[in-house]
Amino acid sequence: MKILMYNTVSDEMPYVEKWTEKTGHEVVTIDQPLNETTVDRAKVFDAITTQQTTAINAPVYAQLAQFNIKQIAIRQVGYDVLDLPEAFAHNIRLSNVAAYSPRAIAEYTLTQLFNLIRHNKKFDRAMNKGDYTWAAGGQAREIHDLTVAVIGVGRIGTALAEMLHAMGATVLGVDPIYRAQNEPFVTYTTLDDALSRADVISFHTPLNDETRYMADENFFDKIQPGTIMLNFARGEIVDMVELEKALESKLLAGAAFDVTPNENDFMNQKQDVTALPADVKRLIEYDNFLLSPHIAFYTNTAIKNMVEMALNDAVTMVNGGVTENEILR
Ligand code: NAD
């Protein structure tokens, strides 16, 4: 089978090569996304895969159908780039990679939690100025003494909860879906109860109407003084004005974010720090606020899984088979 792989990045190439060696299929990689201009490239192929943040608009699907392309396998979780009604109207099957590595995000959430409780940013900043005293950062806390509220105990939240439990932390879970298999390491409770007991609050919900700005003024009113807040899910879950207020008033002992509502303006880009959004510039000044450029997912395992799962799904769907990654009508 001949597969065209849109928007390929160099990190993906070793896994593409291994996959073609193993399966005998042919993969041609290009570095442009799929759109009205590049859709013609698909003409001589049997299947396509892409990974992109730009929309795949209506005319693309009609064109793909004309080329007898029967599927699009996206190498990412978020499928808001696809026009589902248009794809289905042209009998194009769709798949995403919903769980390429929940542990990647969970491990990085944990990394930043440890960085916060160990005051590493404070110590680093002080040491850069020649201050090697213990007082520069202050006393740490230990993970097994902490109660962590995991808000959204899905794929990533479950992976994190298991890790935290294994290290002796108390894990509270908040999720409208109860999963009995999580009972050995999560105590399910209500949001209000979790907020009243948690030393650490970690968001792992999708972004939807219910979770958009879930952490608003009312939410911050319910948390304990000295709480640590972690957001490795979606920027718009937390109201950044309220976050800043809570850092300023020391309601929060610290926060670590991998996502922000305005991240498309600066993340995964190179620019002068003076050009950063004003709120980001202010936030990164806090020595108890850690920002990372949406890299929680970025591990070798995750990239390998994204490539292999999407390519396998492409072949399966062209052959009329069934994959659990299919986006259903
Ligand atoms: P998932 O769908 O497996 O789990 C989400 C869970 O949240 C579900 O169990 C759902 O029932 C629960 N939920 C929904 N609404 C809720 C609410 N109002 N309160 C409490 N729980 C609620 O998703 P996942 O794969 O674990 O992803 C979680 C988040 O992580 C998503 O926002 C995703 O976009 C994000 N993510 C971030 C990165 C990164 O690199 N930082 C990478 C991948 C995913």
Ligand 1, residues 109, 156, 231: which to mutate, most atoms within 8 A of Cβ? 156
pLDDT band at 322 (very low <50, low <70, confident <90, very high): very high
Domain count, the chain: 2
Confidence at residue 269, expressed as pLDDT on a 0 to 100 scale:
87
Active site residue 197: no
Which of 39, 30, 38, 40 is closest to 9 using CA atoms? 30
Query: Running DSSP on this structure, what letter comes out for residue 133?
Result: -
Q: Of the residues 25, 141, 165, 294, which is catalytic?
A: 294
Q: Give the three-state DSSP class for 69.
A: coil
Ligand 1 center to 119 CA (angstroms): 27
CATH number at residue 323: 3.40.50.720
Question: Residues lining ligand 1, CB < 6 A?
Answer: 77, 102, 105, 151-157, 174-177, 204-207, 210-211, 232-234, 258-259, 294, 296-297
Mean pLDDT of 153-171: 98
Could you give the C-alpha distances from 289 to 132, 172, 254, 277, 295, in angstroms and in order? Answer: 21, 23, 6, 16, 16
Beta strands per DSSP E along 162-294: 170-174, 187-188, 200-203, 227-231, 252-257, 289-291
Spell out the residues 6+ positions from residue 107 whose beta carbon is closer than 8 angstroms to its own. 163, 299
For residues 249 and 246, what is the distance between their CA atoms, to the nearest angstrom? 5
Residue 171 binned pLDDT confidence (cut-offs 50, 70, 90): very high
Contact in structure between 152 and 204 (CB atoms under 8 Å): yes
Q: What is the DSSP letter of 7?
A: T
- Buried-exposed string 306-318: b where 16+ CB fall within 10 A, e elsewhere: bbbbbbbbbbbbb
Can you tell me the mean pLDDT for 145-159? Answer: 98
Please indicate, yes or no, whether residues 138 and 172 belong to a single structural domain of this protein.
yes
Both 176 and 65 in one domain: the answer is no
For residue 268, name the pLDDT band (cuts at 50, 70, 90).
confident
Whether residue 144 lies in the annotated active site: no
Query: What's the pLDDT tens digit per position in 8-62?
Result: 999 999 999 999 999 999 999 999 999 999 999 999 999 999 998 788 999 999 9
Q: 28 forms bridges with which residues in the sheet?
A: 4
Average pLDDT over residues 127-140: 98
Report whether 171 contacts 148 (CB < 8 A). yes
Given the residues 12, 236, 242, 263, select the one marked as catalytic.
263
Q: Are residues 66 and 10 in the same domain?
A: yes
pLDDT in tens, 241-257: 999 999 999 999 999 99
Residues 54 and 35: beta-carbon distance below 8 Å? yes
Within this chain, do residues 192 and 278 fall inside the same structural domain, yes or no?
yes
The residue type at 296: A
Cα 203 to ligand 1 centre (Å)? 8
pTM of the model: 0.90
Q: Is residue 264 scored above 90 in pLDDT?
A: no
Kindly state the average pLDDT of the residues 204-226: 96
Check whether residue 155 and residue 248 sit in a common domain: yes
Over range 170-179, report the average pLDDT.
98
Residues 235, 106 within the same domain: yes
The mean pLDDT value of the chain amounts to 96
Are 184 and 258 within one domain? yes
Give pLDDT, residue 54: 85
* 294 counts as catalytic: yes
Closest-CA residue, ligand 1 atom 37, reads 233
The reply to whether 96 and 240 lie within a common domain is no
Residues 85 and 137 in one domain: no
Q: Which of 234, 236, 242, 308 does the annotation list as catalytic?
A: 234
Question: What DSSP element (H or E) covers 114?
Answer: helix 102-117
Q: Which amino acid is at 114?
A: F
119 and 253 in one domain?
A: yes
Q: Are residues 15 and 93 in the same domain?
A: yes
- 23 CA distance to ligand 1 middle (Å): 33
> Band of the pLDDT at 105, cuts 50, 70, 90?
very high
Residue 79 has pLDDT above 90, yes or no: no
Range of the domain at 319: 2-100+299-327
3-state SS, residue 298:
coil
Residue 99 alpha carbon, nearest atom of ligand 1: 25
